[in-house]
């Protein structure tokens, strides 16, 4: 039982998408900081039908000793999907996709952290996807940033992430399930908005160079909106709003 039949048109003449959005519109986004008791920091995020929870433990002692870095923290990231999060039940445990996402997500966040302030420790980041609807790796990074800030870990900036895609020839922001599955290209991107610096970038599919640049531009624009929401979520938790 895979994806349902391909819809006839993914985008109308005037650019309206299957879910009524305009090409540069994000799905509804909701972020809540500090939702778990045990974790040092946490966040819950909804983007469209995506439901994601991120948690941070650390900085904490790292064992075995030989894995420690004398001058900085070791960052570990684990992205995991719940068995019930997707259409066809996913067997529990990491698969190759999850392992790659975990690696790239760690690399997307590390530039933003003052790891040199926490030598010989580990900062562990966990993302659990409870419900998936395309764009989970970016949503996971976005939630993880909030969880890191919630844990009080010193950071240069928050990291915001979102994907852009090419669908029926149009460049669109934040592709949803069908657009991701039937579109021509998918471009997940993460950045530190303050520096306008990209920390994660992937592309798969078929695009001209210009189309790719346009997708990057659109994704960055989306990240700025997400960044505002991340900050709001943190301020809300501490009564700042």
Partner 1 sequence: MPEYRIYVEDREVVTPGELLAEGQVIASDGTYREGDKVYSKVTGLASIEGRKVRVIPLSGPYVPTKGDYVIGIVQEVKFSSWLLDIRAPTPGVLHVSEFVDEEVDLITTDLSEYLKEGDVVGALVQEVDPVKRVKLTTKGEAMNPLGRLKDGRIVEIDPVKVPRVIGRRGSMVRMLKDVLGCDIFVGINGRIFIRAREEPREIREDLAVRAIVEIERRSHLSGLTDWLESTLKRLSRW
Partner 2 sequence: MSLDLDLLAKIKRHEVLSMIRTGERIDGRDFDEFRPIEVRTGVISKANGSALVRLGNTQLVVGVKLEVGTPFPDTPDQGALAVNAELVPLADPTFEPGPPDENAIELSRVVDRGIRESEAIDLEELCIVEGEHCWVVFVDIHVLDHDGNLFDASLMGSVAALATAEVPEVEVEDDEVEVIEDETRPLPFRDFPISVTVAKIEDHVLVDPCLEEEIVMDARMTVTTNERGDVCAVQKGDKGEFPPKAFEEALEMAVKKSKEIRRTVKAQIES
List residues near partner 2 by CB under 8 A.
1, 4, 36-39, 42, 49, 51, 53-55, 57, 60-61, 63, 78, 80, 82-89, 92-94, 124, 126, 128, 130-132
Distances in whole angstroms, Cα of residue 37 to Cα of each of 33, 68, 130: 12, 27, 18
Q: How far apart are CB 140 and partner 1 at their closest, in Å?
A: 18
Distance, in Å, from the CA atom of 144 to the CA atom of 77, rounded to the nearest integer, reads 9
**DSSP H or E segment with residue 129:** strand 121-131
Report how many residues bind partner 1 under the rule CB under 8 A: 38
Distance, in Å, from the CA atom of 108 to the CA atom of 148, rounded to the nearest integer, reads 13
Residue 150's binding partner among partner 2, partner 1, none (Cβ under 5 to 8 angstroms by kind) is partner 1
- The DSSP 8-state label assigned to residue 25 in this structure reads P
Task: Please choose, from the candidates 138, 134, 109, 133, the residue with its C-alpha nearest in 3D space to the C-alpha of residue 202.
Answer: 138
Residue 85's binding partner among partner 1, partner 2, none (Cβ under 5 to 8 angstroms by kind) is partner 2
The tokens of 227 are what? 């960044």
Residue number, 40 or 186, with CB nearest to partner 1: 40
Stretch touching partner 1 by CB under 8 A, among 19-27, 53-61, 103-111, 179-187: 53-61
Burial class (CB in 10 A: 0-12, 13-18, 19+), 187: buried
User: Which residue ranges make up the site for partner 1 (CB under 8 A)?
Assistant: 34, 40-41, 58-61, 70-71, 73, 112, 114, 117-121, 149-158, 192-194, 230-231, 234-235, 238-241
């Amino acid at each position: 039982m895979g994806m349902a039949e391909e819809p006839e048109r993914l985008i109308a003449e005037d650019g309206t998408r299957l879910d009524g959005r305009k090409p540069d519109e994000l799905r509804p986004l909701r972020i809540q900081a500090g939702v778990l008791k045990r974790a040092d920091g946490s966040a819950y995020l909804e983007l469209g039908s995506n439901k994601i929870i991120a948690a941070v433990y650390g900085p904490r002692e790292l064992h075995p000793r030989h894995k420690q870095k004398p001058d900085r923290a070791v960052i570990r990231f684990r992205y995991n999907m719940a068995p019930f999060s997707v259409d066809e039940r996913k067997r529990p445990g990491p698969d190759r996709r999850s392992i790659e996402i975990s690696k790239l997500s760690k690399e997307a966040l590390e530039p933003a952290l003052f790891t040199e302030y926490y030598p010989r420790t580990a900062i562990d980041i966990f993302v659990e996807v409870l419900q998936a609807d395309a764009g989970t790796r970016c949503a996971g990074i976005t939630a993880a940033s909030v969880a890191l800030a919630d844990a009080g870990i010193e950071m240069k900036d928050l990291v915001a992430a979102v994907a852009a895609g090419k669908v029926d020839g149009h460049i669109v922001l934040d592709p949803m399930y069908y657009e991701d599955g039937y579109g021509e290209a998918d471009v997940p991107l993460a950045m530190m908005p303050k520096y306008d610096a990209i920390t994660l970038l992937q592309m798969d599919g078929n695009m001209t160079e210009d189309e790719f640049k346009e997708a990057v531009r659109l994704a960055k624009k989306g990240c700025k909106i997400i960044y505002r929401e991340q900050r709001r979520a943190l301020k809300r938790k501490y009564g700042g709003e």
